[in-house]
Amino acid sequence: MKALVLAGGRGTRLRPLTHTAAKQLVPVANRPILFYVLDNLAQAGIKEVGIIVSPETQKAIREAVGDGGRWGFRAEYLFQEEPLGLAHAVKVARVFLGESPFVMYLGDNLIGSGIREYCEAFRAAKTDALILLKQVEDPTSFGVVELDGNGRVLSLVEKPKHPKSDLALVGIYFFSPKVHRAIEEIRPSWRGELEITDAIQRLVENHGEVAGYILKEWWIDTGKKDDLLAANTLVLDEWIARQIDGDIDSASQVMGRVVIGKESRVQASTVRGPVVIGERVVIRDSFIGPFTTIGNGSQIVHSVIEHSVILEGVLIENVDRLEDSLIGNGAKIFKDQATRQAYRLLLGDDSVVEL
């Protein structure tokens, strides 16, 4: 089995951050989202991975992932010039995929488990497709699936006005080579894209066997700021163990599950986990609250931060309270100490904000 990872697109929902960074490389718990995807593929035993990249993402993705050797697989990069839909990405990858069954994994999706069991279920069932599903509160925002009593897919509709169920498509799909014929038979949707939901529906109409598995664990599409912060919270809450490699002075308190990287210093500050602090970070006269990650080389001075993702090389000084925020690489935030206020910010790389 091969894997197809989608790491293209323009990341419009995370702008301005994605004007200068690929959305798949935005960190959760100080690791790029894409790396969790690649971890799952490696743990499932996948040895050949095709990565769809776009003009906006190709350089950064190639530099971050390399040849895939650190995961024990071979990575091949496949160029998609325009984001013309998930099914179009499969067309772009046609030569790479050949006649192999494959798993297609959206590079900005996170789930609370591995995928090995689903790989094994797909191989054992010998179906034409196996799709992962999750119950959601507002199905009109997703591809929606209707199942029969045996877990067989009856229909799929992209963003229906009147959904037949509350089961949304998770961004992980398993396909046999029959999906290529189905894609050739569909036409672009009203959005001008080749929809993977239409291709799966065509498999169903052609009397193919399409199975649906309802995901028990959490699933988050990290395409928006609040979703990315939620993913950061879940990863910190479930996967982080205490590890202190930096220095903590006697005037500081570090409580709970906290990771502090090498050459980082905590001075006259309080850190309350779960928190991940990268390498060469300085925390001085500050409070770092739960569900916060701080990237390498950042400095937090006389500030309060909670439930936020701070990328690399950031300077935050004299900010009374920063919460629910996503701050890009190299950003600088200063504040006049004469006023007191809490802030929620989404800043792109190298921004400068004087409050």
Q: Any idea what the CATH number is for the domain that residue 300 is in?
A: 2.160.10.10
**Alpha carbon separation from 160 to 77, 145, 181, 252, 254 (Å, rounded):** 33, 10, 25, 53, 48
Residues 183 and 71 in one domain: yes
**192 domain-assigned:** yes
Count of domains for the chain? 2
C-alpha to C-alpha distance for 265 and 270, rounded to whole angstroms: 12
pLDDT, tens digit (0-9, with 9 covering 90-100), for 197-223: 899 999 999 998 999 999 989 999 887
pLDDT at 338: 56
Residues 31 and 180 in one domain: yes
CA nearest neighbour of 291 among 311, 277, 312: 277
* Pair 322, 302: CB distance under 8 Å: no
Residues 216 and 245 in one domain: no
C-alpha to C-alpha distance for 172 and 151, rounded to whole angstroms: 17
Please identify, among 224, 253, 275, the residue that sits at the C-terminal boundary of a domain: 224
116 membership: H or E segment, kind and range: helix 116-125
**65 domain-assigned:** yes
Residues 172 and 32 in one domain: yes
CATH number for position 83: 3.90.550.10
Residues 72 and 28 in one domain: yes
**233 domain-assigned:** no
Please identify, among 193, 224, 255, the residue that sits at the C-terminal boundary of a domain: 224
Residues 264 and 216 in one domain: no
Residues 309 and 215 in one domain: no
Residue 106 sits in which domain range?
2-224
Half-sphere exposure of 344 (CA within 13 A, CB side): 5
Residues 207 and 249 in one domain: no
Assigned token pair, 103: 């798993």
C-alpha to C-alpha distance for 269 and 258, rounded to whole angstroms: 14
Residues 218 and 284 in one domain: no
**229 domain-assigned:** no
Residues 26 and 68 in one domain: yes
Residues lower than pLDDT 70 in the chain: 9-21, 337-340, 350, 352-355
pLDDT, tens digit (0-9, with 9 covering 90-100), for 229-277: 999 999 999 999 999 999 999 999 999 999 999 999 999 999 999 999 9
**246 domain-assigned:** yes
**230 domain-assigned:** no
Residues 256 and 200 in one domain: no
pLDDT at 337: 65
**232 domain-assigned:** no
Residues 89 and 167 in one domain: yes
pLDDT at 170: 93
**40 domain-assigned:** yes
CA nearest neighbour of 312 among 36, 20, 37, 70: 20
Please identify, among 189, 224, 259, the residue that sits at the C-terminal boundary of a domain: 224
pLDDT at 15: 54
